[in-house]
């Protein structure tokens, strides 16, 4: 791991800690130095920006305790689901326009 | 005369095995099961019905019966004999079972057994596409029904978007599935549809396993009042009795019933129970609130299997009674989804069953801490997909359609 990579992985672990504190009003029990290696794997898979989005989304779902280990094992599923939801958002936007047109044409 | 032997003899005489095969009733053959299997196997191999003597050669104990009627007649007789004997057995077993088991358990077993037998009292229906005269009769009937019902063969929802995209309306035999996360407006939406049906002169029946009939009635009054009363006043019983009395007297004068059914939170409710209520009240539309709280007729323990069975049984209720049925379903929580948007069909564990059974599936989603409810179709077998919003003052029962992004 280069120094630059380590910095990014550390930044994401810090992001996790901040999100955890916001949600539970206490700091999580994690070993930052060990977790940075797993976080680096997440960055290698989906990139830094997407990893950050996934972490933010992780805290919107109902997983009790939001353990970091669970995130490392399931970030790909969260990613897949986010893609699906984004596609649905676009579809709903399109349908809303179509529906509006249909209603106006029949008034 | 043994009715199994009579049917087999009739098939051999009349050479019309298809009458029996179409009914898919292998399990009604008991004493002559081997002969029936032999007959089917001969037919499958040689694509011809053998002479009865061929069966006699193979099955020495088989004694053919002299028959003169149509195969369908003997088929009816066999089904009737089979049902009679099964019902007799069921009653005897239930009587014995009552000695050691609770009555509720005995009723549950009887329901399950009756549901299996119901298959033999229903029949599949065939339509020959080339019989265009039959088609014309059907079109006449649909046209007459549409004219009587204000332009659509089904019940209109009162929402422009849905009524345009779903031109049949909530028609007889349709299963409409309403999905949503817990507490996001599914019950309000379906109760509103019931109110709209009632205002058009239909008789709705809501089976609520979640709320007491009194709570549900408060909601209905709020919606029917459309701004005259507040739901909170009904809940606290602080509504002005004179205002309410004079409004209700006028509103409910010479109208159809509006039935609310509840199990008061106890006891299992199966589709058979719902059927009994349909027989009792003869509603024009049934709303089942909600799917996960019902029990299937087989009393399945595995949740996905149970829910798939319920979905199929609800569809059967709609078809058998020739009425629309609305099935309210909570989306299934999973580990990788938030609940910030209307659920996808795939976010219901038994989504495959909905895909097969539902004529229309829509997701209903209220944005937390707002009056805004999004309604999006997830499946529409009879028209196009749609999406729109409702500005819903739940406390006053006032609903406004919105066709712009509200946020």
DSSP chain A: --HHHHHHHHHHHHHHHHHHHHHHSS-----HHHHHHHHHHHHHHH-HHHHHHHHHHHTTS--TT--HHHHHHHHHHHHHHHHHHHHHHHHHHHHHHHHHHHHHHT-
Residues 6+ apart with CB under 8 A from B37: none
Place of tokens 């010479």: B254
pLDDT tens-place string over residues A5-31: 788 899 999 999 999 999 999 999 888
Chain A residues in contact with B385 by the CB 8 A cut-off are 95, 98
Question: Is omega for the bond preceding B290 within 30 degrees of 0, making it cis?
Answer: yes
Nearest to B338 among A60, A74, A98 (CB): A60
Q: Does the beta-carbon distance from A92 to B338 stay under 8 Å? A: no
Q: What distance in Å separates residue A81's CA from the closest CA in chain B?
A: 7
Q: Does B345 touch chain A (CB under 8 A)?
A: no
Task: Please answer yes or no on whether A95 and B387 come within 8 Å at the CB atom.
Answer: yes
Distance between CA atoms of residues B250 and B202, nearest Å: 17
B299: number of CA atoms within 13 Å, CB side? 13
Distance CA B175, CA B190 (A): 13
CA distance B46 to B52: 15
- Residue in chain A closest to B376 (alpha carbons) equals A92
User: What is the reported pTM?
Assistant: 0.73
Q: Say what the pLDDT of residue B135 is.
A: 75
pLDDT at B365: 95
Q: How confident is the prediction for chain A on average, in pLDDT?
A: 91
Q: What is the pLDDT of residue B266?
A: 65
* Residue among B335, B385, B404 minimizing CB distance to A63: B335
Structure tokens at B182: 């817990």
Per-residue confidence (pLDDT) for residue B153, from 0 to 100: 80
What do you get for the CA distance between the two ends of chain A, in Å?
64
Tokens 């005897």, residue located: B92
CB contact under 8 A, A98 and B386: yes
Residue B124: per-residue pLDDT:
52
Are B311 and B357 spatial neighbours (Cβ–Cβ below 8 Å)?
yes
Provide the 10 A C-beta neighbour count for residue B36: 20
Q: What is the mean pLDDT of residues A73-84?
A: 90
Inspect the interface and report whether the beta carbons of A103 and B164 lie closer than 8 Å.
yes
Nearest to B219 by CA among B390, B395, B400: B395
The rounded distance, in Å, linking the Cα atoms of B233 and B229 is 7
pLDDT for res B125: 55
Please choose, from the candidates A39, A42, A26, the residue with its C-alpha nearest in 3D space to the C-alpha of residue A76: A42
Per-residue pLDDT in tens (0 to 9) along chain B, 407 residues: 789 999 999 999 988 787 787 666 788 899 999 999 999 888 877 768 899 999 999 998 899 999 988 888 999 899 999 999 999 999 999 999 999 999 988 988 888 888 778 767 765 556 667 777 777 777 776 777 677 666 778 899 999 999 999 999 999 899 999 999 988 999 999 999 999 999 988 899 999 998 888 888 999 999 999 889 998 898 888 989 999 999 999 998 888 889 999 887 667 888 888 888 888 888 999 999 989 889 888 888 888 888 888 999 999 899 888 899 999 998 877 767 778 889 988 888 777 788 788 999 999 999 988 999 999 999 999 999 999 999 999 888 899 999 999 88
Burial of B219 (0-12, 13-18, 19+ CB in 10 A): buried
């Amino acid at each position: 791991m280069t120094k630059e990579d380590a910095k990014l992985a550390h930044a994401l672990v810090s992001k996790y800690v901040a999100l955890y504190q916001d949600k539970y009003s206490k700091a999580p029990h994690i070993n930052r130095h060990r977790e940075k290696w797993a976080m680096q794997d997440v960055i290698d898979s989906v990139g830094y920006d997407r990893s950050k989005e996934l972490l933010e989304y992780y805290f919107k779902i109902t997983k009790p305790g939001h353990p970091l280990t669970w995130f490392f094992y399931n970030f790909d599923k969260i990613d897949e689901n986010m893609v699906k939801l984004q596609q649905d958002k676009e579809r709903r936007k399109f349908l809303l326009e179509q529906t509006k047109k249909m209603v106006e044409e029949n008034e | 005369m043994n009715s199994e032997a009579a049917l087999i003899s009739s098939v051999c005489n009349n050479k019309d095995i298809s009458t029996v095969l179409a009914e898919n009733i292998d399990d009604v053959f008991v004493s002559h099961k081997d002969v029936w299997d032999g007959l089917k196997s001969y037919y499958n191999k040689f694509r011809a019905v053998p002479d009865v003597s061929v069966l006699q050669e193979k099955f020495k104990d088989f004694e053919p019966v002299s028959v003169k009627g149509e195969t369908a007649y003997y088929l009816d007789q066999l089904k009737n004999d089979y049902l009679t004997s099964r019902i007799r057995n069921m009653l005897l077993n239930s009587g014995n079972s009552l000695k050691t088991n609770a009555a509720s358990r005995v009723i549950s077993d009887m329901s399950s057994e009756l549901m299996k037998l119901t298959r033999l009292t229903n029949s599949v229906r065939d339509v020959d596409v080339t019989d265009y005269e039959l088609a014309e009769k059907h079109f006449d009937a649909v046209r007459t029904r549409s004219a009587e019902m204000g332009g659509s063969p089904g019940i209109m929802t009162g929402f422009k978007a849905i009524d345009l995209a779903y031109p049949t309306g909530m028609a007889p035999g349709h299963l409409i599935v309403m999905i949503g996360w817990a507490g996001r407006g599914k019950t309000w939406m379906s109760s509103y549809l019931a109110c709209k049906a009632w205002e058009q002169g239909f008789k709705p029946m809501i089976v609520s396993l979640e709320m007491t009939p009194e709570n549900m009635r408060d909601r209905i009054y709020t919606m029917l009042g459309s701004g005259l009363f507040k739901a909170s006043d009904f809940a606290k019983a602080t509504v002005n009795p004179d205002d309410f009395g004079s409004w209700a007297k006028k509103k409910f004068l010479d109208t159809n019933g509006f039935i609310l059914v509840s199990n008061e939170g106890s006891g299992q409710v199966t589709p058979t129970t719902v059927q009994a209520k349909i027989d009792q009240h003869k509603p024009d539309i049934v709303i089942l609130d909600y799917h996960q709280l019902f029990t299937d007729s087989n009393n399945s323990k595995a949740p996905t299997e149970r829910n798939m069975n319920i979905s199929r049984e609800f569809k059967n209720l709609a078809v058998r009674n020739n009425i629309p049925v609305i099935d309210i379903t909570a989306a299934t929580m999973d580990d990788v989804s938030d609940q910030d948007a209307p659920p996808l069909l795939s976010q219901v564990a038994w989504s495959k069953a909905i895909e097969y059974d539902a004529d229309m599936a829509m997701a209903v989603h209220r944005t937390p801490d707002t009056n805004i409810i999004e309604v999006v179709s997830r499946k529409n077998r009879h028209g196009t997909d749609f999406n729109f919003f409702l500005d819903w003052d739940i406390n006053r029962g006032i609903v406004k359609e919105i066709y712009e992004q509200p946020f």
